[in-house]
Amino acid sequence: MSITILGIESSCDDTSAAVIKDGFLLSNLIANQSVHEKYGGVVPELASRAHQQNIIPVVHQALKNANVTKEDIDGIAFTRGPGLLGSLLVGTSFAKSFALAMDIPLIEVNHLQAHILVHFIKDLEKEKKLPAFPFLCLLVSGGHTQIVVVKSHKEMEIIGQTIDDAAGEAFDKCAKVIGLPYPGGPVIDKNAQQGNKFAFKFNRPRIKDLDYSFSGLKTSFLYYIRDHIKEDPNFIQENMMDLCASIQYTIIEILMDKLEKAIQQTGIKQIAVAGGVSANSGLRTALIERAAKNNWETFIPEFNFTTDNAAMIAITGYYKYMNKEFASQDVAPIARFAY
Ligand code: KG4
Ligand code: ZN
């Protein structure tokens, strides 16, 4: 029997819809919201309004691109959380109405679990090796930084996580300090490619076990810049590329050191990365280099599957559909959602 799932993602500032048939991706559409740029971060109220405007056209186009009609959809999966409540409400309400109107199962999805299961999306064009259980996943996004032992499609255990800011937040906040637009991660990445990563040295946090901390790094970056601007008002402009390369290098080294520790502790050598920060070219290179040295097998997502997308919601929904894990019509979104 063939199963077609429509996935809906609206947890933050991207409205996305995707269609997956038997694990193969047929379409994945993402509408970004540029309205937040001038505020230097996502404005929740504006995000939910934009989702409300985008959701129908995005779903319509995703069905069209997949060459399916709404009658072909067997189940609809949506992000229940974590995320911004107003944003989540738009996707949740849409999915409930769609399920009711089409008389198909409704499937709730945890956004974090979905970021990880992105590695199971199959491609019609090319053969892809899927990770085997258990594997480790470094999940690095704007809201989360975790090392997760993935035991099955539904069983995941966090063995390390940030005690304050997420890695994506560290990128975004440091970018803001040097006047770069939101989201700062991709801009730092681009600038870093022309800079010297050893030009400036920033202190790394000393946090126990496999946990992370990034708030101190942001503060020391802020003070470093402030002190140097006092001596030279053009300090940022004159050193932009080196500053980006150095702060990026520091964040990557912090991430990789704990990941390496987790690999030593668990003995698991299949390593995946996921989440928006896994788009970072420096992080990808660092992972590949350390993997070659240590004999790890790596799973690095395609760029369009790193940041928020509905393909990851649809694939998670597909596995839940196969397990008959359906939600009822009284399901409500939740801003904080554990595995
Ligand atoms: O996974 P995601 O789209 O949303 C959350 O669930 O949070 O991640 C967004 C985060 C932002 O902080 C953004 O700056 C960061 O991912 N990001 C990057 C890059 N692309 C996106 N950070 C570093 N380098 C990149 N190339
Ligand atoms: Zn995300």
- Give me ligand 1 centre to Cα 172, in Å: 8
pLDDT by residue (tens digit) across 262-317? 999 999 999 999 999 999 999 999 999 999 999 999 999 999 999 999 999 999 99
Is the pLDDT reported for residue 125 higher than 90? no
Whether 191 and 175 share a structural domain = yes
Q: Which structural domain, as residue segments, surrounds residue 68?
A: 4-127+305-322
- Give me ligand 2 centre to Cα 291, in Å: 25
pLDDT by residue (tens digit) across 217-260? 999 999 999 999 999 999 999 999 999 999 999 999 999 999 99
User: Which numbered atom of ligand 1 lies nearest the CA of 167?
Assistant: 12
pLDDT of residue 337: 85
Whether 17 and 94 share a structural domain = yes
Does the C-beta of 180 come closer than 6 Å to ligand 1? no
Whether 298 and 314 share a structural domain = no
Whether 183 and 49 share a structural domain = no
- CB under 8 Å to 226, separation ≥6 — which residues? none
Sign of CA pseudo-dihedral 156, 74, 308, 91: negative
Average pLDDT of 315-324? 98
In a domain, 54, yes or no: yes
Sheet with strand 145-150: strands edge to edge = 156-161, 145-150, 135-140, 270-274, 297-299
Whether 221 and 316 share a structural domain = no
Name the residue of 12, 137, 140, 141 whose CB sits within 8 Å of the most ligand 1 atoms, as the mutation to test its pocket: 141
How far apart CA 85 and CA 92 sit, in angstroms, is: 10
Answer for the pair 279, 184: CB distance below 8 angstroms, yes or no.
Answer: no
Average pLDDT of 92-120? 98
How far apart CA 153 and CA 131 sit, in angstroms, is: 11
Q: How many domains does the chain have?
A: 2
Is the pLDDT reported for residue 184 higher than 90? yes
AA identity, residue 249: Y
How far apart CA 264 and CA 161 sit, in angstroms, is: 17
pLDDT by residue (tens digit) across 12-22? 989 999 999 99
Whether 155 and 288 share a structural domain = yes
pLDDT of residue 38: 77
Whether 156 and 123 share a structural domain = no
User: Could you tell me what percent of the chain has a pLDDT over 90?
Assistant: 91
- Give me ligand 2 centre to Cα 16, in Å: 12
Does the C-beta of 276 come closer than 6 Å to ligand 1? yes
Q: In the block, which residue shows the tokens 């870093």?
A: 192
In a domain, 206, yes or no: yes
Whether 89 and 210 share a structural domain = no
Does the C-beta of 81 come closer than 6 Å to ligand 1? no
pLDDT of residue 339: 78
In a domain, 338, yes or no: no
Q: For residue 274, what is the domain's CATH number?
A: 3.30.420.40
AA identity, residue 211: D
Report the mean per-residue pLDDT for the chain.
96
User: Could you tell me what percent of the chain has a pLDDT over 70?
Assistant: 100
Is the pLDDT reported for residue 6 higher than 90? yes
pLDDT of residue 1: 85
Whether 283 and 192 share a structural domain = yes
Whether 149 and 288 share a structural domain = yes
In a domain, 332, yes or no: no
Give the pLDDT band (50/70/90) at residue 43: confident
Average pLDDT of 326-335? 97
Average pLDDT of 106-128? 95
pLDDT of residue 45: 86
Please provide the size of the chain in residues: 339
Name the residue of 307, 308, 336 whose CB sits within 8 Å of the most ligand 1 atoms, as the mutation to test its pocket: 307
In a domain, 334, yes or no: no
Average pLDDT of 178-201? 97
Does the C-beta of 16 come closer than 6 Å to ligand 1? no
Q: How much is the pTM? A: 0.95
pLDDT by residue (tens digit) across 200-216? 999 999 999 999 999 99
- Give me ligand 2 centre to Cα 177, in Å: 23
Does the C-beta of 280 come closer than 6 Å to ligand 1? yes
- Give me ligand 2 centre to Cα 8, in Å: 13
In this structure, the strands spanning 135-140 and 145-150 are antiparallel
- CB under 8 Å to 246, separation ≥6 — which residues? 195, 196, 197, 198, 199, 200, 201, 202
Whether 143 and 251 share a structural domain = yes
pLDDT of residue 126: 87
Whether 229 and 260 share a structural domain = yes
